[in-house]
Amino acid sequence: MKYLAGLGGIFCACSSVAFAEVDSEIPLGIEAVTGLRTDYVHRGFQLAESALDFQLEAEIILSNNNSLSLGFAHLSESGEDFNETWSYLEFSHSFNKHLTSGASFTYRDRNESILQGGFDLGLFTSYSINNVWRWRNELNFDLGVDGVYLNTELEWSQIISNKSFVTIKAGLSLVSEYLERDGLNDFHTRLTYTYALSDQVSFTPFIGSSIQIEDKDADDILYGGLWFEVIF
């Protein structure tokens, strides 16, 4: 599963490199993720509290270097009117064992949101520095709000046992004409712990934060949640 939150986004907590080393090889196919969180933060904007989410994704290996992912996701705020549904398509190309790049195409539909839904076009690069460090960059053109989002993120993953690993991410985002924000946007972090119950089933508790940089009227956010993942 790819990164939904940057990539649309936000549900998969596992690092593909670490998860492959944790246990036997995970079969390709369809992955379903469901979870709950105290807050839903999208690109530094708090859109919902006490949210439930579900995602379904399929990955198609086109060749040794190319893959295509397509998925559908839905998130709703418990007891409130906010909900978000999105579908996406992502193409990835691996130049070598370290460098991967690609493009994504996403459509989001939102109700009762400060951010309008619409099409989102994205480009990304991911560089594996070594077995535990990875550097990822994203550039997104959000046509729903007519803004540009740029994110750079460093990830560290460490295997704890043959069934579990921990991942820490920290990133910095910048925006241009993104709902009255322009310039440095937020500094964000996320800590996840993934435990594999089997080759197909795992669960991931997580905590994260979004610290506002230039928008002093927006609150800094600390959130937590739990994902449950099944691979078919």
**pLDDT 10s digits, 58-93:** 999 999 999 999 999 999 999 888 999 999 999 999
User: Is residue 27's pLDDT more than 90?
Assistant: no
Distance (Å, rounded) from C-alpha 75 to C-alpha 131? 33
Please give the average per-residue pLDDT across 141-169, as a whole number: 97
Confidence of residue 1 (pLDDT cuts 50, 70, 90): very low
Quote the mean pLDDT of the chain. 89
pLDDT at 3 over 90: no
In the predicted model, is pLDDT for residue 19 greater than 60? Answer: no
3-class secondary-structure state, position 54: strand
CB 165 within 8 A of CB 157: yes
Check whether 134 has a pLDDT greater than 90: yes
Domain ranges of the chain: 16-231
Instruction: Write down how long the chain is.
Output: 232
What average pLDDT does this structure show over 13-19?
Answer: 43
Measured CA distances, 156 to 6, 17, 18, 40, 60 (Å): 17, 11, 10, 23, 26
User: HSE on the CB side for 15, CA within 13 Å?
Assistant: 30
- The CATH superfamily label for domain 16-231 reads monomeric porin ompg (2.40.160.40)
Give me the pLDDT at residue 29, please.
78
For residue 194, the model assigns a pLDDT of 97
State residue 99's pLDDT score: 98
Q: What local confidence, expressed as pLDDT, does residue 196 receive?
A: 96
Q: For the residues 166-175, what does the mean pLDDT come to?
A: 98
24-38, 61-75, 83-97, 102-116: least confidently modelled range: 24-38
